[in-house]
Amino acid sequence: MSGIPVLFVEGDCIARAWENALISLNTFGCDIKTQYDTPDSLPSKDSTMVIVVNDPLSEPMIHLDFPGGFEDLQEYVMEVCDGIKDHCIRDPNDPDDMRWEYTYHKRLFQYQVPTLAPIDQIENICRQLADTPHTRRAQAITWKVWEDMKVNDPACLQSIWCRINYEDGGVPVLNMNVRFRSNDAYKAAFMNIFALVQLQVKIANRIQELMDRNIKIGRYCHIADSFHIYGSNMLEFNGRFLKAINNRTFENRTMQYKDNAEEMMKSAIPNIISKAAKMVRTTTNFI
């Protein structure tokens, strides 16, 4: 193949699928520069990647070698699914406001277009699928072409697409595709996938309310145009992630979410909410 490699991996659970994706990227990815490089920067390892998690809620869901802790993971889930940091978005009309350009929650649940009221794209997905489960139009986007082409940190997540099919016995199954234009494979992708699977569950629960019947969670497909490990992170990746692959079993590299991690993560929620509430603007900084 000429050009950037297109790689495909799958796994029965989130932890295995993410691990397989990193191994494939490290083995078959190409070396390429980024816009963030300095003259002395090492090239990134990069590919276009398609990751399929066949059973997103199967265990083990947690990979112990993702860069972060359980509280970080819970905080990110709440950021994406509940919008606990939507107040951190900058005022585009204030050049001195140095807060974030976006949050995924705001773009998905309150997408703002000039002259229109905010659009809850996730609720629209749920209602479309409740009315017509096989529709191919149930999607949400994040990109704002009138803004994101000229900002320093445009949204990496680009779209979410959902569709329902039926298993034997007529059980409805919610499938979800997610596309990123850019995805930090080592530092961010595990948390991205974990949080977006929680959003898949949230969507399924809402459709259940609208249809008044159980909805099963189907496969999750994660597509990244640029799935990469930055050159500056390769030393850590080799010393931590690949070392663990060689020295520990898969069972010792992972953890059950329901039996082991969920309680720890949920217990961190009050502290997370308090911390997020303190992220208020004072001139150009957060406190």
Alpha-carbon distance 181 to 227, whole Å?
9
Per-domain residue ranges for the chain? 6-280
Those residues whose C-beta lies under 8 Å from the C-beta of residue 200, and which sit 6 or more positions away, are: 56, 162, 174, 176, 217, 220
What share of the chain in percent tops pLDDT 90?
Answer: 84
- 208-257 pLDDT, tens per residue? 999 999 999 999 999 999 999 999 999 999 999 999 999 999 999 999 99
- 159-202 pLDDT, tens per residue? 999 999 999 889 999 999 999 999 999 999 999 999 999 999 99
User: Strands 139-141, 281-282: parallel, antiparallel or unpaired by DSSP?
Assistant: unpaired
pLDDT of residue 153: 87
Those residues whose C-beta lies under 8 Å from the C-beta of residue 27, and which sit 6 or more positions away, are: none
Residue 23 has pLDDT above 50, yes or no: yes
Mean pLDDT of the chain, nearest integer: 93
Residue position matching structure tokens 């991205």: 192
**Residue 72 and residue 195 in contact, taking contact as beta carbons nearer than 8 Å:** no
Alpha helices in the chain (DSSP H): 14-28, 70-81, 104-109, 121-131, 145-148, 189-211, 234-236, 243-247, 250-253, 262-267, 269-277
Alpha-carbon distance 89 to 82, whole Å?
15
Domain 6-280 fold is Thymidylate Synthase; Chain A (3.30.572)
